[in-house]
Amino acid sequence: MSVQPQMPRTWRTETKPHKFCPGCGHPLVLKALSWAIEELEIEEKVVFGCDIGCSLLAWDFFNLDSVQTHHGRTTPVITGIKRVRPDLVGVAYMGDGGGYAIGSQHLVNSAMRNEKVTVILVNNTQYGMTGGQMAPTTLPNQKTETTPYGRSVEETGLPTKGPEMVASISSEGSYVARGTVSNVRQLKKYIKRALEAQLNGNFSFIEALSLCPTNWRTNAEETWKFLEDQMSKYFTVGEFKTPAQKKEG
């Protein structure tokens, strides 16, 4: 008899195995979110929204009321819910294209208005679902389908540093952090603090550094090396804004 690892309560077994590619980071982020929700015992209150792109594969992932929206539009949908149901906990889940490109105005303005929602953005340095194009987070010189000779900083600018930006515009009491799927325990802690900030009436934002072996065209070892040696060097992992202003690496 095989022993199955213990899964969080909101992990919906009926829809597993999930539809993400082998080696994808999304399921690790989603599991961290599940554990955070379970520790806070708020399953009954959470409404989960997912974007277009790979994140939409999470539409039936959880034992949570969930809605799949349009590309970049999950933040306003969850905001719209939360404005009339302040008793709920709203989670908007998206990729880097959804949050930093097509939906950047929603991210910026929901942070500025201190909407009582939690935005979780998965950074895998490119558009996964559409086949690996350059995203705002693509690293300098990184090859993608639309930067086949490597991303030129002169032509396309520098990669977006989302948490740094959001931390600089969000209100006191809000929570902003960047975690990584290479440290799920820490990521879960960040997400939990983000949900707590929402429960305390503030905006929160988490970016999670993630993996995409399919579009990076990397084997397991190279995938891990790209995350640890390149992404984590450019995108600093840690807390950028905490209600108590305490920093942690």
Partner 1 sequence: MFMAPKPIEGEKRVFMTGNEVVAWAATAAGAEIMYGYPITPQNEIMHYWTRMAPKYGRKFLQTEDEISAGFTTVGGVLAGKRAFTATAGPGNTLMQEPMSMAEMMRLPTVLVVTQRGGPSTATVIYSQQELTMTCFGGNGEGMRIVYSTSGHQDLYDYTIKAFNTAWKYRFPTFVLGDGYQSKMREPVTIYDPEARNISMVPAEAYMGNPGTPGVDRDPVHLRNTYNMEEELLKVINDNMATYESIAPEIVEYQEEEVEDAEVLLISHGIVSRAAQGAMKLLREEGFKVGYFRPITVRPFPAEQLRERAEKAKCLLVIESAYGQLKRIVTDSLYGCTTTIKSYMKPGESVTVEEVVEKVRSLY
Kindly list the residues in this chain that would bind partner 1 in the complex (CB under 8 A): 9-10, 12, 43-45, 47, 52, 56, 59-60, 62-70, 73, 76-85, 88, 105-106, 108-109
**C-beta of 80: minimal distance to partner 1 in Å?**
2
What is the helix (H) or strand (E) element at residue 247, kind and residue range?
A: none
CA distance 215 to 235: 19
CA distance 97 to 49: 16
**C-beta of 59: minimal distance to partner 1 in Å?**
5
Q: With respect to partner 1, which residue has the nearer C-beta, 85 or 217?
A: 85
* Token duo for residue 146: 């639309």
10 Å CB burial of residue 37 (0-12, 13-18, 19+) is buried
Q: With respect to partner 1, which residue has the nearer C-beta, 69 or 223?
A: 69
Note the helical H segments in 96-217. Answer: 96-97, 104-112, 153-156, 162-169, 184-199, 213-216
**C-beta of 182: minimal distance to partner 1 in Å?**
29
Q: With respect to partner 1, which residue has the nearer C-beta, 26 or 193?
A: 26
The answer to whether residues 77 and 67 touch, using CB atoms and an 8 Å cutoff, is yes
Residue with tokens 């905490």: 242
For residue 15, the 8-state DSSP code is: G
CA distance 78 to 72: 12
**C-beta of 96: minimal distance to partner 1 in Å?**
19
**C-beta of 157: minimal distance to partner 1 in Å?**
22
**C-beta of 7: minimal distance to partner 1 in Å?**
12
**C-beta of 239: minimal distance to partner 1 in Å?**
26
Distance of CA 141 to the CA centre of its chain: 24
Q: With respect to partner 1, which residue has the nearer C-beta, 12 or 143?
A: 12
Q: With respect to partner 1, which residue has the nearer C-beta, 92 or 176?
A: 92
* Rg, the chain, Cα only: 17
* Token duo for residue 243: 């209600």
Q: With respect to partner 1, which residue has the nearer C-beta, 46 or 211?
A: 46
CB atoms within 10 A of CB 1: 3
Q: With respect to partner 1, which residue has the nearer C-beta, 47 or 121?
A: 47
